[in-house]
Amino acid sequence: MSEKHKNGFSYSKEQLNSLTESVLAIARAGGASACEVDVSEAVGQSVTVRMAEVETIEYNRDKGVGVTVYMGLRKGHASTSDFSPAALEQTVAAAIGIARHTAEDDCAGLADKDRLATVFPELDLYHPWPVDVEAAIGLATECEDAARAVDGRISNSEGATVSAHTGHSVYGNSHGFLGYSASSRHSMSCAVIAQAGDAMQRDYWYTLARAPGDLDNAAAVGRNAGERTVARLGARRIPTGTYPVLYDPTLASGLISHFVSAISGGSLYRKSSFLLDSLGHQVFSSLVNIVEDPFLPRGIASSAFDGEGVATVKRDLVTNGVLNGYFLASYSGRKLGMASTGNAGGCHNLIVAPTAGGFDDMLKRLGTGLYVTELLGQGINTVTGDYSRGAAGFWVENGVIVHPVEEITIAGNLKNMYQSIVAIGSDVDRRGSKHVGSILIDKMMVAGE
C-alpha cells in the first residue's frame, strides 16, 4: 500500500523536507541574507446530519508554502499553494521584491540560532481516523437521535457533525533548522433547539481529541446537548446586584485566554495590555497556579518547537498568583529587550491547578449566586481590563440550581476578577489548549431587572 493511501497525504515527510530546502536555496541564490519557510499539507472530512437527513458532506485537501525572506533588516513575505518549481521561484522573487521596498526594522530576523530545538520527543499527536462517509453519517445520526430523544420539547436541530482532520508540515530556516510535525484533530458536535410555549432555547455539546479513541461516544455527546438545551427552558432575569459568579469550565478557559492575550508580546510592546510590567507581580489570587506544558502527550497545543523553530520549555507560568513569564516570539522579545519564550504562534498547553472538588462542590462553594454557562458579545477592553458581557446560566441558592437565567449582563475588571478567584474546580475541560475547571469569582456586578 502506498504512503499516500495509508495516511491520505499526497506528499511524504521527505518530499516536504526537500521542498523546504529547495525554497531556502532559491532565496539564498536570490540574494536573501536569511529565509524561513513553512510547507504544509492538510486533509479532512466533515459530515453533518440534521433532522435525520444528511445535510452536508465536505472534503478538504489543502497545501501551502509560506516564505519569509530578510534582506538585512528588511523583511518580505509571500505564499503559494502551487508546489511546482516555477511557482516556488516566483514566490521567493515576490518575497524578495517586497523586502526591498519595506523599511528597516532592527528587531527583524530569524530566531537566535542557539535557541532552536535540537531534541524532538514523541508527543503522540498523529492518529488518523479512517472513518468513511457512511460510518460518519451513522455516528452523526446516533448523536442527533440521542439529543432529540432527551425530551419531547426538543423541536428542532442545528444538526450533528463528525469531523476527521490530519495535517503535517515542515518549518525550516537558513540557520539549518528543519523541523517536521504531523498531527490529527477529530471532533463530534451536536446542537438542538427546545421549545416551551413561545420560548425557545438552544445549546450544544462537543468532543474533540487527537485520537479517535479519546472522543466521547456519539450518544453521550447527543445526550449532553439535549440535556443542556432543555435545562435552559423557563429562563428569566434576576434582580440587578453584586453576586458571586461561577464560570462553567467551558467559559473559564476564556478567562485564561484574556490573560494569555494580556501577557503576549504584541500587546506588551504596543502597550495595549492591562498587565503591563506585571512580571514578578501578583496578578491572580494566591490560589492560582498555572503550568505551561508543551510536552503533554496528545495535547491540543503540544509541540517540541514553536513557529520559529525555537525549543519549547515546560515552565511554571504562575506560582501562587505571581506571574513568572510572558509569551514572546523573537520579534516581540527584541522589542522588549527580552529573549523569546518559544511562543511564536501562541501558548502551549496551560494547566490550571484545581483547588477544590468537582462541580457539586463548586456549587456549594458558590452558595447563592450566578452560575454562568454562556457569554455573549465581546465587551473586553484589553488596555484597561474592563469586562462586560451578556450572559446566560442558572440562579443558585444554598448550593442548589433553582432556575435558568437569561438576558443579563455581568461586569467587572479583569485585574480585580483575577485577584478575586476563590476556588478552581476539578471538573477540568481538557478539550482545548487551556486545561481548567470551573472558576468561582467572589463578586461581580450583574445587571438584570
What's the structural domain count of the chain? 2
* Helices 218-231, 133-148: inter-axial angle, 10-degree rounding: 30
Same domain, 212 and 252: no
Is 178 within a domain? yes
Mean pLDDT of the 94-116 span: 96
pLDDT at 4 over 90: no
Q: At what angle do helices 13-29 and 85-100 cross, to 10 degrees?
A: 40
CB 159 within 8 A of CB 216: no
HSE value, Cβ hemisphere, 13 Å, CA-based, for 392? 17
Q: What's residue 5's pLDDT?
A: 39
What's this model's pTM, rounded to 2 decimal places? Answer: 0.94
Give the domain extent around 194: 3-230
Does 235 fall in a domain?
no
The C-alpha cell of 443 is what? 463578586
- Per-residue model confidence (pLDDT) at position 412: 97
Q: Which three cell numbers, joined as nine digits, stand for 145?
A: 437521535
User: Where is the domain boundary, 230, 258, 277?
Assistant: 230
Domain boundary pick from 230, 258, 293: 230
Q: How many Å is the maximal CA-CA distance in the chain?
A: 72
Calculate what percentage of the chain has a pLDDT beyond 70: 98
Residues 200 and 313 in one domain: no
d(CA 62, CA 54): 24
The mean pLDDT of 10-35, rounded to a whole number, is: 97
Weakest mean pLDDT among 2-11, 287-296, 415-424: 2-11
pLDDT of residue 397: 98
pLDDT digit string (tens) for 125-178? Answer: 999 999 999 999 999 999 999 999 999 999 999 999 999 999 999 999 999 999
Question: Which cell is 203 given?
Answer: 445549546
pLDDT of residue 7: 66
Same domain, 43 and 129: yes
Give the contacts of 261 (CB within 8 A, at least 6 positions apart).
267, 273, 382
**Amino acid letter at 155?**
S
Q: Is the pLDDT of residue 304 over 70?
A: yes
Residue 273 sits in the same domain as residue 161: no
Closest CA to 373 of 240, 244, 231: 231
Residue 414 is assigned to a structural domain of this protein: yes
**Residue 236 belongs to some domain of the structure:** no
Note the pLDDT tens digit of each residue in 44-85.
999 999 999 999 999 999 999 999 999 999 999 999 999 999
Same domain, 218 and 293: no
Domain assignment present for residue 279? The answer is: yes
CB atoms within 10 A of CB 367: 15
CATH at 169? 3.30.2290.10
Using alpha carbons, select from 333, 330, 364, 378 the residue that is nearest to residue 440: 364
Identify whether the C-beta of residue 420 lies closer than 8 Å to the C-beta of residue 209: no
Say if residue 259 is in the same domain as residue 212: no
Instruction: Single out the residue of 65, 66, 68 nearest to residue 95, CA to CA.
Output: 68
